[in-house]
A and B are shown apart, each in its own frame.
Chain A
Amino acid sequence: MSQNTLLITILGMALVTYLPRFLPAWFLRDRALPPFFAAWLRYIPAAVLAALLAPSLLVEGGALNLAWNNLYLWAALPCIFIAIKWKSLFGTVLAGMLFVALARLLII
């Protein structure tokens, strides 16, 4: 693909990325929603976050890995503990990074 074709392609990618981000917010924001739909939207954040998180913790190099050497999976345990205990976003992030860095330093 030439750089010019790629430029046009990137504009297309930008458009098809923007529309799903924009249209629901635009059309739903000042509408009274039916109770079922409102409840559905309330559960969406937890559902989306869990659906994103599961593969990022359980899949390593394109394959399921539940073994002891899947650092991402085991680092989740201290993160969950700290997130529940301190309710701190930044504290959890720091603890997770520290755990991963230390594990690599000490084990690998």
Chain B
Amino acid sequence: MSRLRAPDRNAWVSLAPALPVVLGYLPIGFAFGVLAAAAGISPFNSVLMSLIVFAGSAQLMAVGFITQGVGPWALIAATFIINLRHLLMSASLSPYMQKWRGAQVAAFSFELTDETFGVHSLRFEQGDVAPGSALRINLVCHLSWVVGSLLGVLAGGLIEDVRLFGLDYALPAMFIALLVMQIRGSLYLWVALGAGALSMLIWGVGLTRWNVILAAVIAAAVAAGVETCRKTRS
């Protein structure tokens, strides 16, 4: 029997974690679209990139590379390196997906970005591990990225102003909040401070594509070592 249902209020509430990401993705996606159009990338290819690559820093890097005339293989290799950090995020969320179906894991991974990772790492830890709402949140975030890109491509020649309303600060502010909520003890605070300092250090010596992954791997490993030592001693 089919019947009309009022929109499920819970479905909307479950989408709330996507809101800060959407606020950040729309203007940045827009900026990507404008820059891609200016670099001579066709509207189809620009939107396709947002649809199937879905990685902000790699896409903006690609636009720069294409303007400079860098070849396909170098572009693919650089994309691989810059996006390798997602290995860590995927590994870190994996324990929560034990009961998910294979297709759900595959779909979720497709939309795993820095931002969606931040949101889900908090939700999953709070026990919110149902695949449905996680996939819906991802879909909304992805959609806002594609729509932002499309609008940017269409706006083309117009100059973007993502600085209006401080929208460019939506994602940094979200990362701050997510990081603060991750700090559940002194060791976590040291991990954060250590990873931040290491990231700057590695960036400072010129490894600007490796700083995130190297800093995170090292800082988390040191903390895990300290924790394991403490446990075996007590």
Contacts and interface: CB of A to CB of B under 8 A. Distances in A.
Interface in B68-86: 69, 71-72, 75-77, 79-80, 83-86
Contacts of A89: 17, 20, 119, 122, 174, 177-178, 181
A69 interface: no
A59 B203 contact: yes
A96 B194 CA distance: 24
A97 B165 contact: yes
A20 B87 contact: yes
A87 B228 CA distance: 29
A48 B176 contact: no
Contacts of B58: 13, 17
Contacts of B195: 46-48, 50-51, 54
Interface string A31-64: 0010111111111111111111111111100001
By secondary structure, the B interface counts as helix
A20 to B, nearest CB: 4
B53 A17 contact: yes
Contacts of B212: 48, 51-52
B9 to A, nearest CB: 18
Interface residues of A, number: 76
B14 interface: no
A21 B109 contact: yes
B128 interface: no
A92 B84 contact: no
A43 B218 CA distance: 10
A11 B58 CA distance: 13
Interface residues of B, number: 105
A20 B228 CA distance: 27
B143 interface: no
Given A46-B188, A53-B175, A96 B196 contact: no
A61 B120 CA distance: 30
Contacts of A36: 224-225, 228
Contact of B175 (A38, A52, A97): A52
A101 B48 contact: no
Contact of B220 (A18, A28, A30, A44): A44
Contact of B179 (A41, A46, A101): A46
Interface of A: 1, 3, 5-14, 16-18, 20-30, 33, 35-59, 64, 72, 75-76, 79-80, 82-84, 87-90, 92-93, 95-102, 104
19 contacts: A8-B72, A10-B52, A17-B58, A20-B83, A21-B87, A21-B90, A29-B94, A44-B91, A45-B89, A46-B195, A47-B223, A48-B85, A48-B117, A50-B193, A52-B212, A56-B175, A87-B181, A89-B122, A93-B20
Interface of B: 16-17, 19-20, 23, 41-42, 44-45, 48-49, 52-55, 58, 62, 66, 69, 71-72, 75-77, 79-80, 83-95, 97-98, 100, 102, 105-106, 108-110, 112, 114, 117-119, 121-122, 163-183, 187-188, 191-200, 203-204, 211-213, 215-217, 219-221, 223-225, 227-228, 231
